Amino acid sequence: MNLFVKYLTAFGMSMVPVLELRGSLIYAAAHGLNPALSYILCVVGNMIPVPFIILFIRPIFDWMKKKASWMRRIAERMEKKADSKSGAIRKYEMLGLFILVAIPLPGTGAWTGSLAAAMLGMRLKHSFPMILLGVMTAGAIMTLVSFGIKVLI
């Protein structure tokens, strides 16, 4: 696999729910890609779905609930997940959103943060910068973990 395809794969993986930034940076490190370029590509890729989730997920869920019972169950499950992750956001508002996204653990990240922000009715102009800062922080942590401390040298 050539170098361009590896970078493109890491970029693409960063847009996929669950894998997001964490999985894409681990992939990049495993394939010996440049840490700085990988970080930038993965942050950008992870942020691409954010405005679409914040702006359109509620109408999509409403449509799903009306369309079919199995779609309604999926939408309700996703809303329940967002609600379970939104406690810190309710308490600390923007700082809570940043923290939710910045902690690189399963069940956190840009997708979950965007979903929670949308469910809480947060405006894109307020939530997007906090999600970006969270993604950048999680990316820095994962770059150090994935590529090792040698990245700093």
The predicted pLDDT at position 153 comes to 58
pLDDT-based confidence at 146, cuts 50/70/90?
very high
Half-sphere exposure of 72 (CA within 13 A, CB side): 5
137: buried, middle or exposed (CB in 10 Å: 19+, 13-18, 0-12)? middle
Residue ranges of domains in the chain? 3-148
Q: For the segment 47-56, what is each residue's pLDDT rounded down to a tens digit?
A: 999 999 999 9
The predicted pLDDT at position 143 comes to 95
> Mind giving me the DSSP string for 18-62?
TTHHHHHHHHHHHTT--HHHHHHHHHHHHHTTHHHHHHHHHHHHH
Amino acid at 145: V
Residue among 1, 2, 23 at smallest CA distance from 11: 23
Q: For the segment 43-101, what is each residue's pLDDT rounded down to a tens digit?
A: 999 999 999 999 999 999 999 999 999 999 999 998 988 888 788 788 888 999 999 99
